[in-house]
Amino acid sequence: MKILVLNAGSSSQKSCLYQVDDPFPNLPLEPLWEAKVNWTYQQGTAELKVKTSRGILQQEIPSDRRLEVVAQMLDTLSQGDTQVIDSLSEIDIVGHRVVHGGQDYRTPTIVTPEVKDAIIHLANFAPVHNPANLEGIEAVEQILPDVTQIAVFDTAFHSQLPLKAAVYPIPYSFFEQGIRRYGFHGINHQYCAERTAQLLNRDIKSLRLVTCHLGNGCSLAAIKDGISIDTTMGFTPLEGLMMGSRSGSIDPGILIHLEREHNYNADKLDEMLNKAAGLKGISGISNDIRQIVAATNNSRAQLAIDMYVRSLIQHIGAMLITLGGLDALVFTGGVGENQPFIRAAACEALTFIGVKLNAAKNEDAPIDTDIAQAESSARVLVIQAQEDWAIAKECWKIAKMQ
């Protein structure tokens, strides 16, 4: 079975093609074809990069229209030096990451007109991502009109949050209008929980896990019995940890003050909180932690790192209390997988409960590895984020039921 996965963001588009045969593999397969489109390269131009075993392609596409760019991207599947199939008609099913599924979409779902209407309606809650997700779906509809498409929702894994975690302490009528904690990064939090159980050879229902998805966006999940019972992101992906360019949780009174005293409107607040805050706002350098770490003599860079670590530790502590203990702490995402000092700082704060990191393993951690000492009270794992593979797995399940 050939499964195409589209993972659309506001300024980028990641795509993979997998060849998956029965039975479904226990470990992620390497994709036959990988593509990434970057729309921030130059205004009115998309930068396309394609990688296969046959070759690598880099080119600029003079268009900012997603349909045109996706069409050219998919052409590289069956043409030129990156060809891996003879025809696009060989694709059996297409899966899409959709950031917000609201209260109604709690499982992967075949795309129908009703599902598309829901995705655009929920763009009110995820204005940066859901429209881009829908554009990817509609592009495939025009290019491959007969193929089944599956929407896999980032919020779905958190849909079983208990009410005490989901409801905000504001008038209850707002909850009845859909203002609640939804949580995000659910596709990867769920994958990491399942992969942890596999690596530890444990039943997932016997594990208390804190999964730390640390990238430009950051979130934690408290997972018990295989279910997300708490998470740091909320109604939007802005709540929770300090992030690359997002503030995370702050005193909402600050926003009232800025509106009243400094003439900030909703758009200006949105820009500040989502794009000019976090590591970028404090350091004045970048939202990329690698660039901040490199600025060793910059006091604001050091402050940004110290604040980032403090935020991470605080929120891990909250997840531990929710779980009532810890069997494994998991690091994933670009920062979680590639910044040993962040993992070390988090684990150092947990020595009081007996967490002990193997320093040598931490410094040179290959993917999907336990980096805790043998006598540690909890395991510490580094797991490679595999959102695309997780989406492919859901597509395979649905295809087998049809």
Residues 327 and 348: their CA atoms lie apart, in Å, by 16
Residues of the chain with pLDDT > 70, as a percent, come to: 99
Going edge to edge, which strands form the sheet with 218-224? 227-231, 218-224, 208-214, 328-332, 379-382, 369-370
The pairing of strands 56-61 and 379-382 is unpaired
Q: Which of 358, 365, 356, 357 is nearest to 384 (CA)?
A: 365
pLDDT value of position 19 = 97
Which positions make up the binding site for Mg(2+)? 7, 387
What three-state secondary structure class fits 311?
Answer: helix
Numbered residues of the known binding site for ATP: 14, 213-217, 288-290, 334-338
Which of residues 342 and 103 earns the better pLDDT score? 342
pLDDT of residue 12: 81
Cα–Cα distance, 191 to 390 (Å, whole number): 6
- CATH superfamily, domain 2-153, is ATPase, nucleotide binding domain (3.30.420.40)
Task: Assign 365 a pLDDT band (cuts: 50, 70, 90).
Answer: confident
Mean pLDDT, the chain, integer: 95
The one catalytic residue in 86, 104, 154, 306 is: 154
| pLDDT for res 248 | 97
Which residues are annotated binding-site positions?
7, 14, 97, 213-217, 288-290, 334-338, 387
Mean pLDDT along residues 94-112: 95
Would the pLDDT of 41 be above 70? no
Q: pLDDT tens for residues 280-337?
A: 999 999 999 999 999 979 999 999 999 999 999 999 999 999 999 999 999 999 999 9
CB atoms within 10 A of CB 31: 22
Q: What pLDDT score does 67 carry?
A: 84
186-382 has CATH 3.40.190.10 classification: no
User: In the structure, what pLDDT confidence band is assigned to residue 1 with cuts at 50, 70 and 90?
Assistant: very high
Instruction: Tell me the average pLDDT across 186-204.
Output: 97
Q: Which of 41-50, 182-191, 223-232, 311-320 bottoms out in mean pLDDT, i.e. has the lowest? A: 41-50
Q: Specify the pLDDT at position 44.
A: 82
Average pLDDT over residues 75-83: 94
pLDDT digits (tens, 9 = 90+) for 214-270: 999 999 999 999 999 999 999 999 999 999 999 999 999 999 999 999 999 999 999
Can 230 be counted among the known catalytic residues?
Answer: no
Binding site for substrate: what residues are annotated? 97
Q: Give SS3 for 291.
A: helix
Would you say residue 129 has pLDDT above 90?
no
Phi, psi dihedral angles at 206 (to 5 degrees): -100, 0
In the chain, ranges of CATH 3.30.420.40 domains: 2-153, 186-382
Residue 211: what are its φ and ψ, rounded to 5°? -100, 130
